[in-house]
Amino acid sequence: MVSSELNDGIKHPAKISKFSFFIIMSIIISSVGGIIFGYDTGIIGGAIIFIGREFQINDYLQGIIVSMSLLGAMIGALAVGPLADKYGRRSNLFISGVCFAAGAVISGVSESIELLTAARILQGIGVGASSVLVPVYIAELAPAKIRGLLVTSFQLMITVGIVIAYGVNTVAESQGEWRFPVGVASIFGVALAAGVFFVRESPRWLIAVNRHEDARSTLVKLRGTDNVEEEIRETERLNALEQDNIRWRDLFSGHIRPMILIGVLVAFFSNACGINLVIYFAPKILQTSGFSSSASWIGTVGLGVTNVIFTIIGMLIVDRVGRRPLLIIGAIGLTVMLIILAVLFSVPPFEGSGWLALGALLAYIVLYAISPGMLGFLMISELSPLRARAKVTSLSIFVIFATNLVIALLSLPMLNGLGTSVTFWLFSAICVAFSVFSFYVPETKGKSLEEVEVYFKQKHQTR
């Protein structure tokens, strides 16, 4: 199955004096996978308002339509591993793009809830598959010394996709339109599928299937040097280490159990902390706080832009500050912001209350962007033992989409049934647990995967 390597701690001997054209092209094209993830996440919150009106459906059915993409993403994330190992990364990126594009087109022309639901599942399969493939593909192409930075760019592209969706929704909202914003997403799927023909296959996969000459040719192009033999040998060693020869039950024994537990809980809390509630329903939350419909959409775009800016800042500081301090600061800060929002929505509106709510939401986005938003995929990889990488990656991605699925199903009924204040109180309680958990997460900054595993082995032996 595919691995999700961000930093293997190996210093590759090939000297990289500059980014080659092929690396730049490959990263740009594959990063479209992040944009489709973000666009799909951001667009549905605005579209569902008009979908609900057109088809006359209740909050529960609206939640199902929102969440069906996530159900498809769970399927895509689990299915793509063995397919990518058998048929390669490029071919599966192509299929991901086609699934997303086809699902978007069908969604845009759907005349029934049943067809729209099926289309959302198809679209989600593309999202889930690409969310696994893109970080892996970039990691396997990138030089080791900049691998972490380039792979975390996937999260940046997700935030860019969200901003694009918010911008499109802002224009479409004034027209009461949902079909165009949903259908136009097909452009990104087509771009991903077509772009695959202009990039190289992963050299690591080529070596794994004994296509050494193709791998050498690809590495020469990517590295801009003929000196790639040592990198090929090192890749062969890593491939041997990562053979998926561990049973599922072995994941829950010995020193592997705490590694996986922490990684999976990072994945869970990064998505259960309320971020998708904010992304999906920011316009509704801002309208409840007193903003007009048009002003709420402008505020929502502001939230998206803030997310992009502070994701970039997080990428630049994570290797200086460290993972654990950022996670602790983020978890505690998110708790505080959610409590402030819960209190604001529990009292009658007063002059300036809307602006206070917007300020708290902006602070929430800043804290999320520099902490769990950026650290989720990174720490999942760094806390995965080499010989169990494939299974742990699949399990973690499944947890991410399963968590998002539950939140998407429940958020709208909670907002309309329990009220905005109670909803924020519930998510703040989750963030309290997140804050406590963050103090038990070990620091992985500057450590190779082997060093992280040795740390857990030593802790297990001392018990």
**CATH of 18-199 among 1.10.10.10, 1.20.1250.20, 3.30.420.480, 3.30.365.10:** 1.20.1250.20
Alpha carbons 271 and 267: distance in angstroms, whole number: 7
Q: How far is CA 424 from the centre of its chain?
A: 23
DSSP 8-state code for residue 207: H
Report the distance separating Cα 40 and Cα 100, nearest Å: 9
Residues 383/8, Cβ–Cβ less than 8 Å: no
What Å distances lie between residue 303 and 80, 190, 274, 306, 377, CA to CA? 32, 28, 14, 5, 22
Task: Write down the residue that tokens 């048009």 correspond to.
Answer: 294
Q: What are the structural domain ranges in the chain?
A: 18-199, 247-463
**What confidence score (pLDDT) does residue 337 get?**
96
Q: pLDDT by residue for the chain (463 residues), tens digit each?
A: 444 444 444 444 444 444 567 777 777 887 888 999 999 988 887 788 888 888 988 878 888 888 899 999 999 988 887 888 888 888 999 999 999 999 999 999 999 999 999 999 999 999 999 988 888 788 777 776 666 677 678 888 998 999 999 888 888 776 667 899 999 999 999 999 999 898 888 888 888 788 878 888 878 777 766 777 777 777 777 667 666 566 777 777 777 788 888 888 988 999 999 998 888 778 888 888 888 877 888 888 899 899 999 999 998 888 888 889 999 999 999 999 999 999 999 988 888 888 999 999 999 999 999 999 888 877 877 777 766 666 777 778 888 888 988 888 888 888 888 999 999 999 999 999 999 999 999 888 777 666 777 777 777 665 5
Contact 169, 46 (CB under 8 A): yes
CATH number of 247-463: 1.20.1250.20
- Cα Rg of the chain, angstroms: 22
If DSSP codes are grouped into helix, strand and coil, which group holds residue 81?
helix
- 18-199 shares its CATH topology with 247-463: yes
Residue partners of 397: CB distance under 8 A and separation at least 6 = 77, 78, 128, 131, 132, 267
- Residue showing tokens 């917007």: 358
- Residue 22: closest CA among 190, 223, 214: 223
- pTM of the predicted structure, to 2 decimals: 0.81
